[in-house]
Amino acid sequence: MPRAEDIVFPRQRERFEDRRKETHQRKLLDEFFDHGTLLAVSRLVSHGLIDSIDFPVSTGKEGGVFRATKNNEFRAVKIYRISNATFRHLPPHALEELRRESSVRNFGGLIYAWTRREHTILGRLKHAGVRAPLPFGHYRNVLVMEFIGTSDGAAPRLQDALVENPGALYEELVREIGRMVRDAHLVHGDLSPYNVLWFEGHAVLIDVAQSVEREHPAAPALLRRDIVNFSKFLGRLGLDVDPEEFLREVGGDLVGPPTPVSE
């Protein structure tokens, strides 16, 4: 297996030699790249999905996203921490779905299943034409996907972006959420300005592992919450949005358990 330093942050190692950055780099290595994760990264390298991991894009309690390089293009690598703390932030419906889909019960196995679930849902979204990162592959707790950004850095989250035309953003959200509901048959369930990226004037949906089928009993309430969140956000941008109309435009009438047919 390659040493951690041969895969992780090679450019930073070459460019920066001062002690502060080395200490920060070592802290990230210790936090995210344990033996099992290094094995997973090494396998993804050997399968040609990435050449190296360059630097962190965002880190949190559940995991982190890193920019990686593959030949002359960038990719994103999402690494979930293998810990029971990861599941403290999962909504009950998401954990229920994960346990229903997976026969494992230990934390490691559930994290692997969660990573696989996000890969699968991203594939469904791309197939449905939803703007979301293209998944390239996964192994254990590591997911490789399309990098949303440029050589200057990752695209900002919508919460931190400068949106000059709130009306155009509304139409964009109606289109993307509508495709997710109508064509992918999914409800995101945790949609907010914090898990939508703003790239080249377009909304890109991320953090989709907790999504549920649109027929799920919790789907109507989850979709309504997503819509209300964005209605409030658009209101802060100066656009008056009717949540009920928003809900209808994205296909809210299609969401929920099927109505039994009367005999």
Q: How far apart are the first and last CA of the chain?
A: 63
Give the residue numbers marked as catalytic: 190, 207
Helices within 130-218 (DSSP H only): 166-182
Q: Around Cβ 126, how many Cβ atoms within 10 Å?
A: 17
Q: Rounded to whole angstroms, how far apart are CA atoms 49 and 145? A: 9
Q: Rounded to whole angstroms, how far apart are CA atoms 145 and 162? A: 25
Residue type, 132: A
Beta strands in the chain (DSSP E): 52-59, 63-70, 73-80, 135-139, 142-146, 149-150, 153-154, 186-187, 196-199, 202-205, 212-213
